[in-house]
Structure 1
Amino acid sequence: MRLNPILLLPALFLLVQTRELQWWETTIFYQIYPRSFVDSDGDGIGDLKGITSKLEYLREIGVGATWLSPMFQSPMYDFGYDIADFYDVHNEYGTMQDFEDLIAKAKELDIKIVLDFVPNHGSNESVWFEEALKGHEQYYDYFVWEDGVVDENGVMHPPNNWNSVFRKSAWEYREEVGKYYLHQFVIGQPDFNYRNPAVVEEMKNVLRFWLDKGVAGFRIDAISHLFEVDKELYGGKLPDEPLSGRRSDDPLSYDYLDHIYTVNQDETYDMVYQWREVFDEYEKIDGLQRVVMTEAYTSPQLTMRYFGDGEREGAQMPFNFVLISDVNGDSTAPEIKYALDKFLTFKPIDKLANWVAGNHDNNRVASRFSPKLVDGINMIVLLLPGIAVTYMGEEIGMKDGFVSWEDTVDPSACNTDDPINYYQVSRDPERTPFQWNSEKNAGFSTADKTWLPVADGYEALNVEFQKSVERSHLNIYKKLAILRTEPVFRHGRFESSALNSDVFAFRRWHEGEIYLVVINLREQSYSLDLTYFENVSGHLEIVINSMESPKVVG
């Protein structure tokens, strides 16, 4: 059958009632890195009681859901992303009772709690791994094991050339079993074997355990690494990955290889669909839809596969990282527009976009763009069509802290073995303690030493100060959060334009109501004709302006 272009003339329009939105479609998700939010017991490390004590603050700024980075039992080689017990709370963060108290307080305030799920790997200090080393067949098969390769001199080498995301070989030898285990991240994070049905069922049980505790969903970490290629397709041996040509100077670098056998395998998407089915089991019981977020820094085409396959549903929120990966403070308005349009262009028409400008793995907005663009980026995140995600501190314009080589703890930086250039890959600067006030340690902790040093300048850049002045990033954020609840931003249409190389603007409209958001990326002043946008003419009232704007509201 040949399809030809056609022009359809509208014959009749029926008024369709706007559908009722799910809670996750309208809320603001606020990411908390528990280790750095609030320390309640003075040990220099943030904890669950500290988070509970500040839930009113989240409600005050318009947040209806918070996603907690891992708070499970862990030896902390990668600060919680190496989980030793998926069914328990890390002792530095508190107890299971503390977590249950957090859930109860959040429920009182109508705040949903979302947890970080780290399914790709566990910890080499877990009972599962320790039992594997003892030869316990059930747990041995939980992990990926391979024989080494012996060269002509009788020297043992790793099974193949795969590198860890954190540099160096992705294989570690264990004499107890005479084999290498796979770790795509740090040595202490052995990868799970998802070709083992017992692992699949175990991870579903982990999800059910925390869903039974009252969590409203999960953000799934490092999802694209979940499966490796099926070695049976290659004669029972996992093949070498080809060279990428990007880092010919460092064979131990992750970027030295093209990871065609270790990321974005087809089976990964099926696993997400299976997890969504577990979530949907709970919705059938109580009517509350649980949310699935997936973290994958990949192409838009592959990102869209996480939504579903047309027959089965997947993640409601495959994270959209364009504001992190595609643009920065040097970007022009056309480049900003091009990046933002990407997700909207590729996403299925019946799915929502989501907007993420910062997280615990990337430099803060104020440092990656500029302090003067904090309000503009928050306007983009909160007022574009779709779901908003804010990393703790972005609402007050926190900057990256300086962390010396001596104070550096991030394995990504430590593995460089380079006290000069370590900062180029360190994630510690964006993880420094939250700045509550101008007192000791920015009000984060009463300890003499905090797990990471507090960033300089906190005396004037903190929540308490910004609450006390009329014009502040925090108060602007609060106003944006309120404006976001209007029908025009929940249901309205969208169009955007680069008015010139420096000015990006977008229009939201719904049932005769129109809003324009205009963001100047530079300090150059311009006189612009906003009637470029349809149905925009005459007097425009300024509703919210940034700290840098000379305009007057009203």
Structure 2
Amino acid sequence: MSNKWWRSAVVYQVYPRSFADGNGDGMGDLPGITARLEHIRDLGADAIWLSPFYTSPQHDAGYDVADFTDVDPRFGTLEDADALIARAHELGIRVIVDIVPNHSSSEHPLFRAALDAEPGSPEREMYIFRDGRGEHGEEPPNNWQSIFHGSAWTREEKHGQWYLHLFDTSQPDFNWTNRAVRDMFEGVLRFWLDRGVDGFRVDVAHGMIKPDGLPDESEEHRQLMAGDPDVVPVYFDQDGVHEIYREWRRVLDEYEGDRMMVAEAWVPKNRQHLYIRPDEMHQIFNFGFLGAGWSVDTITDAIMTPLTFAKEVGSPSTWVLSNHDVIRHATRYGFDHGYRFGEGLSREEKPDLELGLRRARGATALMLALPGSAYLYQGEEMGLPEVAEIPDELREDPAHKRAGVPGRDGCRVPLAWEKDSPAYGFSSTGKAWLPQPDVYGERAADQQDGVAGSTLEFYRAAIAQRRALGLATGDLVMNESPHEGVLSLTNAGVTVLVNTTDQDHDLPAGAEVLLASHPDAQERLAANSTVWLR
């Protein structure tokens, strides 16, 4: 396994509860993942990223962690985790695990101890407790709003103090100004590094340090946030987080094998590079690309801006189109340009699924032609769409429960492996924790395996060509557009044309088509498609 592997890797995100169920209870688990690792190897991915499988009450799908160094019984045991890591390594697949440092579950023993302890005690100093405002402390300490809607503060009964939770009430924020918190997480890193993991995806990497004095967020700032995705809440992206990652980097550098970190940090484009300086993170997700929509101008900006900033600090850029937090891109692209990517899909919204998949394949062909690393989300290689028809009583996303928005469950529906098997092969008993729609059966992996022109075979071909052509390590140049609405770039001697319009165009005379996102694009630049040419 070569050094600096992360600079050019294709990483496949596994959402454990929805990938494969090994024991038939309807919930995906670690043995189920291990049994299906050959699918990821055959796809051509270099690594997997596992969303949390730690001990958790699952109020936020495992991102509310009650024990950072054990496996939740729903998913298996530590021995199952060891077996998964070992089997992945046998297959040449590296393993990245999620780490959730901003908060814990309210059921974590440290938080239970904090609730029992006195104000100002060492136990309470592990978290962020404050006295309330008002005559009797009945008002929250400030006006911060949770990412999951509503106040970011909850009052505890014993002493009447308030604790901060930037997410759900069941996810109290750690106090990262406390050395004991930092030491604890260094131990967590070492625990998993010693077990052989190759890296960490750091959840809410921009969140751990809060502004001094915990000031109110001004109405002016909120109005700016409403109109500009590059404006983040006042409690995010504080400079103090970088000291944490410098400490973590020193830990990772002690280990052989070039262990890595990638930041989930929704921060302004001109701040992303601060997280990937040589002594901090190795990578940061480029969410601007995910949110760019299907137009030349927005795509160009979402490519060139992060490439420029990343080059300043010597880091590769990362590219991603779907994950467990956003509407699947095979559905997003079925709407007009500028459609939102978050908060889920409502039953009333009707995307054009054929157009969505066509554009999604075009966007994927573009993504896999770019220098740097690419992150895939499970099921996108099958062209799976977002699922809107989920009964409200089955939805688990706290954003749905707190604010009534559809939430993120629609991109978390269990995968379809075999059309004619129970639960489409997800579970031998036919159970699935969320209902799978008929279209999942039509797009099941076995319906696409070996089928020319299928989305699965397109992904396999694109990843193989990406590696063979050296696109991940090339130098990208933007070209003059040959037609309105067509993006043209060259990387490693390959010209990439992205047609964002509904009109077909002729291909350049004498061009050899290396890859086409749509079968029609072999002879011409088909509408809403991408080609690689030489």
Classify the TM-score, shorter chain.
Answer: 0.7 to 0.9
Residue from 178, 181, 186 that aligns with 1:196 = 178
Deviations 1:341-386 (A, max 9, x none): 1111222342211111111001111011111123212212212111
TM-score under structure 2 normalisation? 0.88
Residue from 351, 363, 367 that aligns with 2:327 = 363
1:320 aligns with 2:286: yes
1:407 aligns with 2:371: no
**How much identity, in percent, do the aligned residues show?**
36
Once the two structures are TM-superposed, the CA of residue 150 in structure 1 deviates from its matched residue by 2.7
Distance 2:499 2:207 in 1: 38
Structure 2 partner of 1:242: 218
Deviations 1:107-153 (A, max 9, x none): 111111100010000011111111112218433211000001234xx
Structure 2 segments unaligned to the other structure (5+ residues):
334-355, 524-530
Structure 1 partner of 2:487: 504
Correspondence list, 1:149-548, <5 A: 149-151=133-135, 154=136, 156-231=138-213, 238-244=214-220, 261-283=234-256, 288-308=257-277, 313-325=279-291, 327-328=292-293, 331-349=294-312, 350-369=314-333, 370-402=356-388, 403-416=390-403, 418=404, 422-423=405-406, 426-439=407-420, 440-486=422-468, 488-497=470-479, 498-509=481-492, 514-527=493-506, 530=508, 539-548=510-519
Distance 2:137 2:361 in 1: 58
Structure 1 partner of 2:337: none
Q: How many residues align?
A: 495
Contact 2:131–2:137 (8 Å) recurs in 1: no
Distance 1:261 1:547 in 2: 44
Paired residue type of 2:514? V
Distance 2:501 2:234 in 1: 43
Contact 2:366–2:498 (8 Å) recurs in 1: no
Paired residue type of 2:218? P
Once the two structures are TM-superposed, the CA of residue 57 in structure 1 deviates from its matched residue by 0.9
Against the structure 1 CA distance between its residues 335 and 240, is the aligned structure 2 distance closer, same or farther, given a 3 Å change threshold? closer
Contact 1:472–1:547 (8 Å) recurs in 2: no
1:113 aligns with 2:107: no
Structure 1 partner of 2:65: 83
Deviations 1:216-268 (A, max 9, x none): 0100001111111122xxxxxx32111147579xxxx9x9xx86641111101
Range with greater deviation from structure 2 (398-407 or 199-208): 398-407
Distance 1:461 1:68 in 2: 23
Range with greater deviation from structure 2 (222-231 or 189-198): 222-231
TM-score under structure 1 normalisation? 0.85
Against the structure 1 CA distance between its residues 492 and 161, is the aligned structure 2 distance closer, same or farther, given a 3 Å change threshold? closer
Structure 1 segments unaligned to the other structure (5+ residues):
1-19, 232-237, 531-537
Contact 2:16–2:33 (8 Å) recurs in 1: yes
SS of match in other structure, 2:52? coil
1:98 aligns with 2:80: yes
- CA-atom RMSD in angstroms: 2.4
- Bigger Rg over Cα: 1
Range with greater deviation from structure 2 (491-500 or 87-96): 491-500
Range with greater deviation from structure 2 (179-188 or 374-383): 374-383
Range with greater deviation from structure 2 (343-352 or 81-90): 343-352
Once the two structures are TM-superposed, the CA of residue 455 in structure 1 deviates from its matched residue by 3.2
Distance 2:50 2:484 in 1: 38
Distance 2:184 2:137 in 1: 37
Contact 1:381–1:389 (8 Å) recurs in 2: no
Range with greater deviation from structure 2 (370-379 or 91-100): 370-379
Deviations 1:2-25 (A, max 9, x none): xxxxxxxxxxxxxxxxxx862212
Against the structure 1 CA distance between its residues 228 and 88, is the aligned structure 2 distance closer, same or farther, given a 3 Å change threshold? same
Distance 2:316 2:188 in 1: 27
Correspondence list, 1:126-145, <5 A: 126-135=108-117, 137-145=121-129
